[in-house]
Amino acid sequence: MTLDAIEPDDMSAPDLTGRVALVSGASRGIGHAIAAALLARGAAVTITARKPDELAAAAAELASTVGVSADRVFAVPGNAGDAAARVAAVQGTVERFGSLDVLVNNTGINPVYGPLMQADLDVVRKILDVNVVAALGFVQQAHRAWMGEHGGVVVNVASVAGLRSTRGIAAYGMSKAAMIRLTEELAWELGPSIRVNAVAPAVVKTTFSTALYAHGEEQVAKAYPMGRLGTPADVAALVAFLASDAACWITGETVRVDGGLLATGHLQ
C-alpha cells in the first residue's frame, strides 16, 4: 500500500474486510470492545474466554450489536493459560474462516494487590503465566498454524502499569512490563511479514479495573489531562488501527492510550 492510497477515512475507520482475527479474553470489557471494533470494520472474529455461557452470550451480543451475520463471530471457550485451549482456538479459527490474520492478546489477570514483599509467589507465577507466557504461546501457535507462512499482525494489550511503578499492583505491572519487552522481541524476530505492537491503557472503566476507581471516579479522573477515565472503545479503536494496513510501517511499538496520564509524570 502506498501513502497516496491511504485516505483520511482509512485512518479513522480502517478497513479490515476479508481479515480474520482472534481476540483472547473477549467475553467482556476491553476484549469485547476490540472484537466489536474489528467486526465493525469488516473482519471475521474468533473470541475466547474461560466461561462457555458468558462467551456464547458475548458472541450473540456482538453479532446483534454490530449488525453482522452470526457466522462471522466464532466462540471458542478455554483458559488462555492452557496450551490445549490455545491450540483449539487457533486451529479452530483457521478451520472455520480459512486464515488467521490478526491476533489480539488481551487476556490478563490481577488476583493480588499489595507490596511485593508480601506477595504469594505462586500467585505471582500465575500472573506471569497467564499475562505473558500464554501470550507468547498464542503467538507461537498462530505462527505455526498460519502467520509463519502468510504473515499477519499481533497486538498485545499491555498497560501503563508496565511503564511506571504502581506500588499497589506491582506484580501486574511487572507482567505488563514483560509484555512490552515481549512485543519488541517478537517484532524484531518476526518482521517483516508479521507486525507486532502493543497498546498500554491507563484506567479503563471495566469490571476488571473497578477497584482502581470505585472509591471516587471523579477524583481519580482529575489526574488525567483529558479529564476522564478511559472506555473500552478508546482502546479498541487504537487496536483496530494497528491491525490495519494504515499502520503498515509500525512494529515494535507500545502505544499509550492513557488520557495523557503519563505526561503528568505520575501514575497515581
* SS3 label, residue 255: strand
- Closest residue by Cα to residue 135 from 168, 112, 169, 159: 159
Query: Does the CA dihedral 234-240-245-247 come out positive or negative?
Result: positive
| Dihedral angle of Cα 205, 182, 126, 208, to the nearest 10 degrees | 0
Using CB atoms within 10 Å of the CB of residue 188, give its burial: 0 to 12 exposed, 13 to 18 middle, 19+ buried: exposed
Please give the C-alpha separations between residue 194 and each of 26, 100, 154, in angstroms, as whole numbers: 22, 12, 7
224 is catalytic: no
Which amino acid appears at position 264 of this protein?
T
- Helices 134-142, 83-97: crossing angle, 10 deg rounding: 30
Phi, psi of 214, rounded to the nearest 5 degrees:
-65, -25
The answer to whether 250 and 197 are in contact (CB under 8 A) is yes
Q: Which of 113, 172, 213, 224 is catalytic?
A: 172
Question: Catalytic positions, please?
Answer: 172
